[in-house]
Structure 1
């Protein structure tokens, strides 16, 4: 374990925080010190990266992590999870799971996330059992623990613990820890799974997920790192980027249009509202209010 991680113990005071706020990361470190047999579920996101960091501090670097490679997870997310593990000097195992082969997940109904999480938790449980882990922890944090999320319900049923949320660590505090520790994904925007690009009740497809991923990689290469491509069957790509960046994309519209079409989308459109979380859920509201 490198001494550079010692900065975590002083980071809140250095940035003008309080001793009580400093108790939060210490609580997570203390948990892992007392429970070194806890497996960390590591994605490419900043929350689970900070969880892995604090776990590694608690165990003296013996923490092990597990990440999943599925048709709905971008390759860049798996690569980032491995990069974080390498940065921390911990071992990260990769498990391939074809979640789309499950009818419940593929149908893309409202319980999709619940079904997907149950599958991944079961795989994590098998891994934990084979390697002798006593608990499994994920990166859920305090800002989201009280939200009504199917994945959280699945986690509760499956006994997955949330050390960051239990310690009261918020997203803002987690970002601060990531920056102070110079984690490689400290400024990385949220990257929800590719299933969120499909309208509700439209079956998920690994082939279309790959095209969506390719399209978003194109947007990133053009300077739009926080972007989404929403799929509208039979093959329209609706581009969402930060609202303030729309004028920049408009200047490149001919080039971007051609590149996205070449990625496999016959029709390409730009969402003038800009990037919004949970936009596909609006279709559920339309169905509920449909007089037919």
Structure 2
């Protein structure tokens, strides 16, 4: 199937919905989905963004700016994961707990605004990893238009570039809670440490980063072709990370990859 055919499937699917609330994080996928939905349905589309301590302020600001620029009605809902019973202990179904609560809150807004459907931005590549959040998506009948159309992350970036979206080459992002090894307590303090650490790396020009946290150990993931550069500025990075509260600062020689924390699930099976 060609990319154009997939795009046509996507637009037809969205058109059939009639009206849509998009869970909008300002990431690559949800930005493309929101832009496409707005082109198809116009003012029958709204964006809903969750505000929490696991969602960096820079991402929230980008979400607000995009909706303002595009003229899309935008709602910000407080969805503090740490207030969800059991979440801070970081269980294997952490993402399920978070998504279930978020989509329930979006459903309230959608109903108030007379919106029929709710959609999220997972893509075809998400089918190949451990994604407990997709269980909540299925349970609550949340639509996944990008997966429905069979679009991969690479294809979404290509289509985003065609639309001249600034996010076409933006780093992939997942909530900061995903930086914690399963079973390790998630706290506001450590979320802030991770957020500031990753922001420093981004400010230094690293394109795709993760700072995984293991107790007081920071495990840095960057693209393999930037590992050498990471070593060249190691003293500056280590010094800043120590100031944040990390005792040890390490570099992951495997480089950046999605869902690296899920390797611990396989080890425990």
Could you state the TM-score of these two structures normalised by the residue count of structure 2? Answer: 0.92
Q: Equivalences for 1:189-268 in 2 at 5 Å?
A: 189-233=171-215, 235-268=216-249
Written as runs of structure 1 = structure 2, the 5 A alignment for 1:146-165 is 149-165=131-147
Residue 172 (structure 1) shift = 2.4
Name which of structure 1's ranges 92-101 and 79-88 shifts more when overlaid on structure 2: 79-88
1:6 aligns with: none
Q: Distance in 1 between matches of 2:12 and 2:169?
A: 26
Q: 1:267 to 1:146 in 2, by over 3 A?
A: closer
Structure 2: any 5+ residue segments left out of the alignment? none
Match of 2:163 among 168, 177, 181: 181
**Aligned counterpart, 1:143:** 125
Kindly indicate whether residue 61 of structure 2 is the aligned counterpart of residue 79 of structure 1: yes
Q: Is 190-199 or 138-147 further displaced after alignment?
A: 138-147
In structure 1, the partner of 2:86 is 104
| Alignment partner, residue 6 of structure 2 | 24
Structure 2 Cα separation of the partners of residues 277 and 33 of structure 1: 32
- Residues 204-213 or 243-252, more deviating: 243-252
Q: Give the Cα separation in 2 of the matches to 1:173 and 1:230.
A: 27
Distance (whole Å) between structure 2 residues aligned to residue 236 and residue 143 of structure 1: 29
CA change 1:102–1:231 in 2 (3 A) is same
**What is the number of equivalent residue pairs in this alignment?**
269
**Paired residues of 1:80 and 1:185 also in contact (CA < 8 A):** no
Unaligned runs of 5+ in 1: 1-17
Alpha carbons of 1:68 and 1:161: their partners in 2 closer, same or farther (altered >3 Å)?
same
Show the counterpart of 1:272.
253
Distance in 1 of aligned mates of 2:41 and 2:267: 50
Higher radius of gyration, 1 or 2: 1
Instruction: Show the counterpart of 1:13.
Output: none
1:243 touches 1:274 (CA, 8 Å); kept in 2?
yes
SS of match in other structure, 1:259: helix
**Structure 1 residue 104, shift from structure 2 partner:** 2.5
**Offset of residue 275 of structure 1:** 1.9
